[in-house]
Amino acid sequence: MNLDIARKIELLTGMTTWVLHPRPEVGLRSLVLSDGPVGVRGTGEGHSLLFPSPSAVAATWDPAVADRLGHLFAVEARRHGVDVVLAPQVNIQRTPYAGRHFECFSEDPLLTAEIAGPLVAGIQRHGVAACVKHYVLNDSERDRTRYVARADERALREVYLAPFERVVREAGVWSVMAAYNRADAYGDDSPMTAHAPLLRDVLKGEWAFDGVVVSDWMATTATVGPANGGLDLVMPGPGGPWDEELLAAVKDGRVPESVIDDKVARILRLAARTGGQPTPVFGDDRAFLRELAARSTVVLRRHPGGFPAAPAAVRSVAVIGPNAATPFVLGGGSSVVSPRQVVGVPEAFAAALPHAEVTLARGGDARVHLPPADLASLGHDPEGGPGVARMRAFDAAGALLSSVTLAEWDGWDRAVPAEVETVELHTVLRLAEPGDYRIELGTVGRFVLRVDDVVVASGDEPAGPEVFLDSSVNAPPGRGADLVVHEPRDVDVRAVLTAIPAEGFGRVVRGELRLRPPGPTVEDEIAEAVALARRCDLVVVVVGTNSDVESEGWDRTCLALPGRQDELVDRILAVAPDAVVAVNAGAPVVLPWLTRAATVLWTWFPGQEAGAALADVVLGRAEPAGRLPWTLPADEADVPTPRPIPGDDLVLSYPEGIHVGYRGWLRAGAEPAAPFGHGLGWTDWRYETADVATAGDDDLAVTVQLTNTGTRPGTEVVQCYLEPVDPASAPERPLRWLAGATVVTAGPAETVTATVRVRRRARETWDPAARRWVVPAQALRARLGRSVTDLRLTIPLDA
């Protein structure tokens, strides 16, 4: 390799936040990385396609859909000039409280792998690298850079490492991201960026991974341990612990130069894999995203008289709920992308039913924080520019460096030049409506907020790169003042923010101006919604979570819908018992009214085609073929896995072992609101017969005949579970576990044959003493059906 050691080491840290160093003399171009997993944001400002959340993709239970979405990932990556997409996330949904639950696929390792593998293959087929994350046991946001995850070896292998193993060995993923947390495994409790047994021995050794191991952003804080432990690339750059320190460690023998050569070779291999492919084409991407959002919708309950509604008979539609007014289309944090357009719910129903009157009633605001100020309507540049506000930058001496008018000022996470010390954001709000207002600034770090030249709030707490790694940066509390307006007037608002030194992220300012204008109370809005529901033919209520509830950076503290949404649903059902209730949320929430509603849909974070997909489902234009990839609790007290809170010693224990998700529910004997795999669709199915035969490589092929007994074409997910004939036999097993699934379609009265592949691994357990996979001499049977508890057929298997 025609590079000296200093130039080799330079390649192992990012040149910028998202771009790697080029080295033309060895044919290495700059590689560009970008966040996923709901689109490809790129490295600058601009719009991106917004996909349904990963949990929604998993709800299709369809590897072919995942492969097709991978193709679209590659198209978007090429459009943004991106070589490596930081997706998918294959961590297990261990607990519904986890903040990034919505970014993961499932609580089951097999279903996670069955969706992640084709997604990775679909991306990489077109010369774009997937970066599977976060390796491993990255299951809590609280203290995520400090806690030590402690799972027993069987749980580690059979549950948490299993999806990574499949994606590495079968999909051949080109990049893996090492997580923030530490892991207590194989006699080592190092951070994952330096965990030699899991990175070097398991990932690179046992699984023969030949790609690049990249650190999560700012996760690497040491030099020698990560270098010798298997990490290949530190992000972001420039600087960091692999700058001059790594060069010194090589020169004094603490890190062999051969280790550096291996890392450089992996980066060169990644560059070769992502170069030279023709630009992929996709077709109608919006139509596909609309189809995917509709298909992933889960029918939790279906009207006993049949559904969907007959569009021709609908003359008036009530669209009700906070999430009908503002759909929550993606969770918060690093996965955020900015779509050019989001299809709203009222306009989608109006377009679908041009002969009907469509009316929206919000039914109250459910956000925890005040809403962002509507500067597009209220804000003006105080110097008369064409924008909604003015931004001025100052150096440490207070000298003005720049002054520009802004076209928008919503949420902030803006990089500023190194010489900037403070940024003043200045707007004039023209408040025409008399009444009581509340104005706040949501921010972190040092700030001053002035209203009409009076300081109404300030903060003197310094902030650094840590704010990007905890909850404070994602949804900071607002501080401000009440404001009484007696007659229309202008209000001068100035926020001075001190730039945050964020290491590899540069210098950053963050601030969101929030405003609560005068208006009806929540009680007034609920009463208005009830009155509307009473007089309309079709009532669609959309409730759910929002950006103050589900986000990277913190774990949830409860599973209730925020605000008074449960009360809203109860009062609507009292006057419109046939109302369709759609739940727009990523992770489980408790629905106390579920059994009283005729039709309940789970719509996930549906992406940019949110309203169109919901209208398609409700009006029968698309089949809601989704099946739950996790368990929906009926009572929070029944959740078998506790909130992910590390102890005082920063140890996050996994006492449930292999009994994760629905396995824990079965062991506890608790009754959920809806079981893993549940979903009714718009038709019914009868399971007729089943048979089993051996397949290649010691796999099994389970064939099932089933008939669509309904009046509509439909899609069924045939699920195969294994269970021990004697639950007390050794070794300990879950009472039941997913072994395979397949998707079939059929018309009314049509009988079809479904074949489910049951891999040998589904019958294996990990033997910690022998350090290998074994098939125990234990009698098993296969159970076939529509969910983990709705089982229709049973087949005995040989021991």
Q: Give the end of a domain, one of 509, 536, 554.
A: 509
d(C-alpha 67, C-alpha 75), whole Å: 13
102-124 pLDDT tens trace? 999 999 999 999 999 999 999 99
Same domain flag for 692 and 721: yes
Same domain, 750 and 647: no
Together in a domain, 663 and 525: yes
Of the three residues 509, 531, 560, the one that is the final residue of a domain is 509
176 with 232, same domain: the answer is yes
Same domain flag for 385 and 492: yes
- Phi first, then psi: what are they for 734, rounded to 5°? -60, 155
588 within domain boundaries: yes
> Mean pLDDT in the chain?
94
Tell me, what CATH number does 729's domain have?
A: 2.60.40.10
Residue 685 DSSP SS3: strand
Asked if 655 and 714 sit in the same domain, the reply is no
Global pTM value: 0.95
Tokens of 751: 């009988």
In a domain, 533, yes or no: yes
Is 384 domain-assigned? yes
Model pLDDT, residue 430: 95
Query: Rounded mean pLDDT of 688-712?
Result: 94
Whether 799 has a pLDDT exceeding 50, the answer reads no
Quick one: average pLDDT of 766-780?
96
Structure confidence at residue 474 (pLDDT) = 61
**Domain assignment of residue 145, yes or no:** yes
Give the domain CATH number at 646: 3.40.50.1700
Whole-angstrom distance, CA of residue 40 vs CA of residue 605: 16
Q: Is residue 130 part of a domain?
A: no
Instruction: Give the residue from 509, 529, 560 where a domain finishes.
Output: 509
Q: How many CB atoms lie within 10 A of CB 611?
A: 27
Same domain? For 344 and 445 the reply is: no
| CATH code: domain of residue 202 | 3.20.20.300
Q: Are residues 392 and 503 in the same domain?
A: yes
Q: Parallel, antiparallel, or unpaired: how do β-strands 791-796 and 389-394 relate? A: unpaired
Domain membership flag for residue 612: yes
- For the domain that residue 422 is a member of, what is the CATH number? 2.60.120.380
Q: In this structure, are 453 and 353 located in the same domain?
A: no
Structurally, the chain folds into a number of domains equal to 4
Q: Are 293 and 267 members of one domain?
A: no
Q: What is the tens place of the pLDDT at every residue in 389-414? A: 999 999 999 999 999 999 887 666 67
Residue 364 belongs to some domain of the structure = yes
Q: Which of 8, 414, 15, 500 is nearest to 239 (CA)?
A: 15
Q: Whole domain around residue 360: which residue ranges?
A: 285-369+521-668
Residue 515: inside a domain: no
- Taking only the tens place, the pLDDT of each residue in 151-204 is 999 999 999 999 999 999 999 999 999 999 999 999 999 999 999 999 999 999
At residue 509 the predicted structure's pLDDT band, cuts being 50, 70 and 90, is: confident
pLDDT at 701 over 70: yes
Task: State yes or no: pLDDT of 472 exceeds 60.
Answer: no
The total of other beta-carbon atoms located within 10 Å of residue 642's CB is 12
Q: Tens of pLDDT along 283-338?
A: 999 999 999 999 999 999 999 877 777 899 999 999 999 999 999 999 888 888 88
Judgement on whether residues 647 and 540 belong to the same structural domain of the protein: yes
Query: Is residue 568 located within the same domain as residue 487?
Result: no
Render pLDDT for 33-78 as a digit per residue (tens, 0 to 9). 999 999 999 887 789 999 999 999 999 999 999 999 999 999 999 9
Task: Name residues whose C-beta falls within 8 Å of residue 785's C-beta, 6 or more positions apart in sequence.
Answer: 687, 719, 721, 791, 792, 793
CA distances in angstroms from 74 to 176, 425, 543, listed in the order given:
17, 38, 33
What pLDDT does 1 receive?
65
